[in-house]
Structure 1
Amino acid sequence: MKRSMFLLKGLCVPAMLVLGACGCRTDVVAPEPGQPAPAPAAAPALGDVFYDFDQASIRMDAAEQLSQNAAWMQEKSSKRVVIEGHCDERGTSEYNMALGERRASMAKEYMVNLGVEPERMTTVSYGEERPFAAGSNEEAWALNRRAHFVEE
């Protein structure tokens, strides 16, 4: 009995994998002779990265977005971007300007480490002066703590 259960378990998982793969049918169509192959998918567009309260460190979700931004910049090698550092409304104006600059600089540094040329990126801080979301609540504050990428 023990041996048959072992065999059953040993065969069940591979069988499920095979059946699952068979159930995911995707048709592959070859191009007609003389027709060009389909173009590769375009690099994703630039996206914002977000920060925790009073922080300029790169979060895991921000690292993923920065990787996509770097891929976009590597595909569009003639493009330049401005990285804008933004903060929520809490804190003094001076503090938020400095924090916004740290956020933009950290995003730039991360992308340089991914292979993007530093001279193709400039940074600017707007602190709390240009909020993305109106409101004085956590949802609005979370959306305003960001580095925003603008194509030049």
Structure 2
Amino acid sequence: MFKKFLLVGALIFGLAACSSSKKKGDDGSSGGISAEDMSFDARGSDSGQIQGLSSINFGYDQATLSPEAKATLKQNAAWLKARSGTKLQIEGHCDTRGSTEYNLALGERRAKVVESYMVGLGVKKSSLSVISYGKERLLDEGDSESAHARNRRANFVPLSN
């Protein structure tokens, strides 16, 4: 009988520990991202719906930033700096060529080079996180060069606090 009470108590404690409460700012808002900034689309910049936040693309088997990518990253950095308290997850993606393991590593290198460049632009490292999806989240399922080019990207997903 004592074991049942102990188990029930542990479950209640565990559930209570998992609950969260949002901190409100002085103006009653929770800070971070407003509904007008985005439609809470989990695809982030891939959706094209977040004004001022864009995905960038990479060359085949590359994790270097083109001049166009750097210009986009400057805009993304300005977007993030204007929204204190907002965090961005940088997602590294690849096309379908190469093994799963190789593409996960390449996607991570892509996300990390983006993170490093944005930190160099004055973005706080604590407001960025990186993840690689390799070839697991394709924008274009096709097998053409243009489909591959669309899939070789870094995507930005705003995270609310």
TM beyond 0.5: yes
Task: Give the secondary-structure state (helix, strand or coil) at the position aligned to 1:147.
Answer: strand
Please state if 1:110 is matched with 2:117: yes
1:46 CA drift (Å): 1.1
Please state if 1:75 is matched with 2:99: no
Aligned equivalents of 1:62, 1:129: Cα separation in 2 = 22
CA shift digits 1:44-96 (9 cap, x unpaired)? 52110100000000111100100000000111111101000000000011000
Task: Give the secondary-structure state (helix, strand or coil) at the position aligned to 2:129.
Answer: strand
Task: Give the secondary-structure state (helix, strand or coil) at the position aligned to 2:114.
Answer: helix
Amino acid at match of 1:148: N
Please state if 1:89 is matched with 2:96: yes
Match of 1:53 among 47, 55, 60: 60
Partner residue, 1:4: none
Partner residue, 2:142: 135
Please, which runs of 5 or more residues in structure 1 have no aligned partner? 1-41
Task: Give the secondary-structure state (helix, strand or coil) at the position aligned to 1:54.
Answer: coil
Partner residue, 1:98: 105
Amino acid at match of 1:114: L
Q: Size of the alignment, in residue pairs?
A: 110
Q: Let me know the Cα RMSD of the aligned residues.
A: 1.1
Amino acid at match of 2:151: N
Normalised to the residue count of structure 1, the TM-score between the two structures is 0.71
Aligned equivalents of 2:112, 2:53: Cα separation in 1 = 17
